[in-house]
Every structure is written in structure tokens, then in C-alpha cells.
Amino acid sequence: MIKEKRPIIIDTDPGIDDAVALSIALNHPELDVQLLTTVAGNVNVHKTTENTLKLVSFFEKQVPVAKGCDKPLLIQLEDSAEIHGESGMDGYDFPKATAKALDIHAVEAMKDCILSSSEPITLVPIAALTNIALLLSMYPETKQNIKEIVMMGGSLSRGNTNTSAEFNTYVDPHAAQIVFQSGIPIVMVGLDVTSTALLTKNETEKIKAFGKVGNMFYSLFQHYRGGSLQTGLKMHDVCAIAYLTDPDLFTVQETFIEIALDGPAAGATVADLKMKYHDSTNATACLDIDIPAFQKWVVSNLEKIN
């Protein structure tokens, strides 16, 4: 049975794992990517926008791209160029983008897209939550046409920036707090699953053989410092896309998540897994992932693009 295409907006900061996530989402038969919005995160917003436009052009897609916030709501940007390279997508010489960004801000573009959609939209932030927090604060009327937020970010255990915080929630904890307090259903695809679901040599060698697309990704993978080709690559953002099409790959739990705003755990997503301190939940947290099934999912989706 062919499933209905699910309308989504992806908010992104490419980023090498973002690039893989976008490539699969843009080409997946069950996903209708209505808009791509960009934000400062892995690198500055000019670069994340340019990288998004390059990917859309590379795949010859007509999906609109809107540039968003150039810094977190209240704090300075700390980027992640040491992981993704100075350009954010080091390692492959993309042709100049033919696609152009919209001449409105990402928050306005999201608002227009959500309010004009006949079907509720799923928001898929795979970066800091700055744009999403502004959208919900400036245009709360959009909430009624947002189906859910499926986000890559957060952690139920250790972080990858300070001891406890994952990068996306660390970059803009105040935005994360607004989003987690919004009342919109949230699925948190955090480090607990994304740090374990590695692409190993077995998968990367297969991907390398996938023609132009395989060559592009293998070149990026050689420069990616979210793991290595020898020890396995962390495909954080790709897990959020997998959740959209194949949620059965994940073990989840309803819980309440608070955001630590400052101190040594700033940006941490503090979960009340035993529900000792809250009467109701505000998020679905991913606890576990079927790693071999995820690895197969990535390879088969990249293979289909060729």
C-alpha cells in the first residue's frame, strides 16, 4: 500500500549529517518537503544557507529555502566547524548553487507555509531551535496546524558539548525551553540513539559505489569528524528522518523534559523518566534504535537516489 506523503518543514544547519538527512528526505517517496529553513549552528547561517541551496541544486529539487536566524536568542553562537569543516560541508566541491533563497525570513516562510497548508505540518528541526522558538512566540496561531515536532537534539544521558548537553540544545537552550514548553507533541531523537547508530565500513563502502551521489557522500565522509570511516560515522540528523518514515525502528518513552539554561549542564535536556516530579508528559524520547535495520534503511535510501 502506498502511504500518503507527509508534509514536513526541515530546519537545518548543514553540516555533513544534515546533508545526508536532507538528501534522503528530499528523495523519499513518503515525505513531502514543503520548505527548508536554515539557522546558525554547525557554521554561520550564510554558510548553512549556501550549503542547503547547493544540496537542493545538486538533487535538482524545486523546494524553497529560507534563511533564518544568524545567532541564538540570548547567547553567542558556538559553532561546530571542527566536526564539519570551515564550510560546514568540507570535502566535496559542489557546483555553484542554481537555487536561490526566498527573500523572506525563515520564520515568515514557515508561518506562511503552515497557515496555508490544508494538512497539519510536521516540523523537523535538525539544528538549534532558534527559528522554531521564534515562530511559536511570534505566531502562536501556527500551533494549531503543526502536527508534531520531530527533532534531532538532546540526550537522556551524556552530552557531546559539555558533560550533559547535546550540541543543538546547547547552542540555544532558551529556544529549546520555549519549544519544550509549547504544548506541541515533540519527539526527541537524541544522542541516546544517534550516537549508537553508526555507519560502519560495511555501509560506507556500499555507499561509495553509488555513482555521483555515493562519490559526493564518500568525499564528505572522509572529512567528517563525527566519528571516522574506520570507527564508524555518527549520522545524528538522519535518525530524525528515519523516525518520520520508520518509527518502528525506535523504542520510545513518554516523559517530561526540562531544559537546563545555565551552569555546567547548560543546554541539557533533563528528563523525568520515572515521572516522579511531573503529572503529565511533554515529549516522546527515543531510548533505543534497531541499528542493523537503520543501517540498511540508510543504504537502501541512498541507493534509490541514483
Residue 131 and residue 32: Cα distance in Å, rounded?
A: 20
Which range binds Ca ion by CB under 5 A, 68-76, 80-88, 126-134, 252-260?
126-134
Q: Which does 49 bind (CB under 5 to 8 A by kind): Ca ion, ligand BDR, none?
A: none
**Maximal C-alpha separation, the chain:** 54
Residue 109 and residue 68: Cα distance in Å, rounded?
A: 9
State the DSSP string of 172-207: -HHHHHHHHTS-S-EEEE-HHHHTT-EE-HHHHHHH
Pair 295, 197: CB distance under 8 Å: yes
Pair 120, 145: CB distance under 8 Å: yes
Which of 199, 236, 267, 297 binds ligand BDR (CB under 6 A)? It is 236
Residue 66 CA to its chain's centroid (Å): 16
The 62-81 site mask, x for binding ligand BDR (CB under 6 A), equals: ------------------x-
Residue 295 and residue 204: Cα distance in Å, rounded?
A: 10
Residue 167 and residue 173: Cα distance in Å, rounded?
A: 10
Q: Which does 160 bind (CB under 5 to 8 A by kind): ligand BDR, Ca ion, none?
A: ligand BDR
Q: Is 47 among the residues that bind ligand BDR (CB under 6 A)?
A: no
Which of 42, 49, 122, 177 binds ligand BDR (CB under 6 A)? It is 42
Q: Is 18 among the residues that bind Ca ion (CB under 5 A)?
A: yes
Active site residue 28: no
Q: Which of residues 258-287 bind Ca ion (CB under 5 A)?
A: none
H or E element at residue 28? none
Q: Is 172 among the residues that bind Ca ion (CB under 5 A)?
A: no
We find the least distance from the C-beta atom of residue 279 to ligand BDR, in angstroms, to be 31
Cite the beta strand spans of 68-115 per DSSP E: none
Size of the site for ligand BDR (CB under 6 A): 15
Strands 6-12 vs 121-125: parallel, antiparallel or unpaired:
parallel
Which of 8, 9, 15, 51 binds Ca ion (CB under 5 A)? It is 15
Size of the site for Ca ion (CB under 5 A): 6
Q: Is 133 among the residues that bind Ca ion (CB under 5 A)?
A: no
- Residue of this chain nearest to ligand BDR (CB atom): 167
Q: Which does 266 bind (CB under 5 to 8 A by kind): Ca ion, ligand BDR, none?
A: none
Question: Cα dist. 199→53, 155, 233, 285 in Å?
Answer: 25, 20, 5, 22
Annotated catalytic residue within 105, 223, 236, 278: 236
Tell me which residues touch Ca ion (CB under 5 A): 13, 15, 18, 126-127, 237
Question: Rule CB under 6 A: which residues touch ligand BDR?
Answer: 15, 17-18, 42, 80, 83, 126-127, 152, 160, 166-168, 236-237
Residues marked active site are found at 236
